[in-house]
Structures are given as structure tokens and as C-alpha cells.
Structure 1
Amino acid sequence: MTTGASTPSFSTRPRRSRLRTFLPLGIVAWLVLEIWLLTVVAGAASGFVVFLLLLAGFVLGSVVIKRAGRRAFQNLNEALQRGGSPSSGGGNGLMMLGGLLLMIPGLVSDAVGLLLLIPPVQKAVAGYAERTVDRKLREAASGSLGDAFQQARIHRPDGKVVPGEVVRDEPGTYGDTPRGPVPPLTH
């Protein structure tokens, strides 16, 4: 016997973001490019030259990170001694990123890391990052509180969206437990 009422079934999954779709492909392409470039350099020169290049990149990257970290810590100390708030960093974050890219084995990452150590490039990248973050914050703030609650739903693996609340019913926390009832709030 069937009734006319049935629950709708949502079998479609939500769309993946572009970043989640293309980031793994980009990482794999970058790794293949790095390995190919290292083999080309090893074929043109020798394996020992490639080893020396990778070692020099690691040493230079560690020096850059140490210097940028020391400068950031010094800026923080000076700001705290003056009683003010710390500044935005003054390019130390991009210097650390450049040092990290130098430390990662590969010639493309070394080239990008060296580019990030050039002050005009740092200024351009910092400006672009700041504009992007400001735009994303404005987009996030333009939504209403209802939109935030709409996004805070539980997504089940089968694609169904279940609005809900987590209630923990553990002994010793509420109600008639060995500790007794929770006293009412009086104010």
C-alpha cells in the first residue's frame, strides 16, 4: 500500500569550488615541471651541479627565513616597548615565503623565491594580496545573518542537508545526575 506523500531525495552533490578542483592538478604539474627541469640541468651539467644548486637554495632560504624572523621579532619587541600595537609585518611574511620557496627542492620554486626577495615585487604582491583579502571580507560581510545560519547546516554524505543542533547528554552535566539539578539563573 502506498501513500501519496514521499520525501524528496536529493542525489546531487554540491559543486566543488574551482580551487578544490584545480589545486591538485596544479601541484602535480608543478612537481612534474620541477623534476623535468632538474633532469635537464643534470643532463646539461652534471648531477653534482644539481646537488650544489639545491644545497645553495636550501642554505640561502634558511638564511633569509632566519633574517626575516629576527627582523619580525625585533619589530614586535619595539612595538610592545612603545606600548603600541604591532605593525602589519613590513614584508617579513613575504620574505619568509621567499625563503621557504628557496628551501623547497626545485629550480622553479627557487626562481619564485628569489623574485619574492626583490622589494618592488614584494610591494606588488602585498598590494594584490591586501586587495584580494579586502574584497573577500566585503563579500563575506555583505551577507545577512540568515545566510550564515544557512551555511552552517550539516551536510550528509548522501547530499542531504540537515539543520540541527548538537546536544550532548553526558552523565554529570545536567538534570538529575549524581551532582543534582542545575540551579536556576537568578539575577
Structure 2
Amino acid sequence: MMSGISSPTAPKRSRARTFLPLAVAAWAVLEIWLLTLVARAAGGFTVFALLAGGVVLGAVVIKRAGRRAFNNLRDGVRAAQAGPGGAPAAPGRSGGSGNAMTMLGGLLLMVPGLLSDVAGLLCLVPGVRERIAKLLGRAFQRRLATAAPGGFGSAYQQARIHYPDGKVVQGEVVREDAPAGPGAAGPFEPPRPPLTP
């Protein structure tokens, strides 16, 4: 039997999955190298202060973004309860993608390393934040459009039931005819005879 030949129906391994471990390893080596350069130039205490400052700043950023997201959610619920004539959302508040990018920036600040700190700070700059959110959104949409039929891209389509008259019904199946206990007959199993000595 030949082990070197793969079956024609096997999915091909994507480039991202092939090169991602190598990219993460290169990123880690580069971060360590930059930290050692800073430690030689400014001392170990400076490196420790930079890393601790990044963790504290990242925690503050994530806390503020989470509080803003909660306030937006609370305002949305209040507006929905007020009805169609309710108060409109306050202008100038950043939406979901702004909060998501702010939280990503805070998370990158908390990751130890200088490159991750720079990337986190870039995610906090308003103009750059919107551009990154648009690029990530387009990449995600392209990924969904090219996903395999059984993959994540068609999961939403699989969860919908289409009727011939054009109606779409969303929901879940609840089996009420499940067996009552151990040894109980299921819906497709014939009843079992009792055990006799």
C-alpha cells in the first residue's frame, strides 16, 4: 500500500495553516530579540517597566471598552423597550467594531513584547482602527464566501429550513419521544424482553 499518495477527495491544507506556526515562532523570536536589545541599551528595569506598563494600560483599555459596550447594550435595550418612537442612539459613540478593535488593542498591549504593544497602540488610533476593522471585515466575508460546503460558511444556511411556499422557519428540533430511562425503548428500537434467570 502506498502511503505517499493522498486521496483526491482529501481537502488541501491551506497556506495559513501551513505557515501560521512558523510565523508565530518567528514573531516570538523577534519579540525576545527586541527585548534583549532594549535591556542592553536601557537596562532590565526599563524592560520590566515597559512590560508592566503595557499590561496595566491594556487592562484599562479593555475595561473602558467593555464598559462602553455594556452602556451601548443597555441603551439599545431601553430604546427597544420604548418602542419605535423611542430615543435614537446617541451620536458619536463608537459601535461594535470600534469596541472590538479597542478590546483587541488592549489585548495586544497586555501580551508581553514590543511589537505587540505597537500593534495594540495602532488599534487604538481612531483612523487606523476603522481601516483595520474594514480590512478584517472584508477578509472575513471573503473567507465565508469561499468556505467549503460543510464548513463554517454554510452553517447559517444549514440552520434554516426552506419550505416550498418560500417561507423560512428558523428553530431547533426538540425530541420529546426520548427514552425515559435506562433500558427504555427508543422511537426506532423494538421493545426489549425482560431478563429472565
TM-score, structure 1 normalization = 0.69
Structure 1 distance, partners of 2:35, 2:55, is 15
* 1:16 alignment partner, one of 3, 13, 30: 13
Q: Which amino acid aligns with 1:65?
A: I
Greater relative contact order (Cα < 8 A, sep 6+): 1
Please list, as runs of the form range in 1=range in 2, the aligned pairs for 1:140-159 lying within 5 A after superposition: 140=147, 147-148=149-150
* 1:172 alignment partner, one of 184, 187, 190: 184
Deviations 1:127-178 (A, max 9, x none): 11222223333334xx8xxx549xxxxxxxxxxxxxxxxxxxx953522235
Aligned CA RMSD, in angstroms, stands at 3.1
Structure 1 distance, partners of 2:95, 2:184, is 46
Structure 2 distance, partners of 1:173, 1:91, is 54
- Report how far residue 40 of structure 1 moved: 0.4
2:122: which partner in 1? Answer: 115
Structure 2 portions without partners, runs of 5+: 82-88, 152-181
Runs of 4+ in 1 over 4 A off after TM superposition: none
Percent identical across equivalent pairs?
52
Deviations 1:2-45 (A, max 9, x none): xxxxxxx9941643111110000000000000000000000001
2:31: which partner in 1? Answer: 34
Please list, as runs of the form range in 1=range in 2, the aligned pairs for 1:17-166 lying within 5 A after superposition: 17-83=14-80, 89-140=96-147, 147-148=149-150
Q: Which amino acid aligns with 1:132?
A: A
TM-score, structure 2 normalization = 0.66
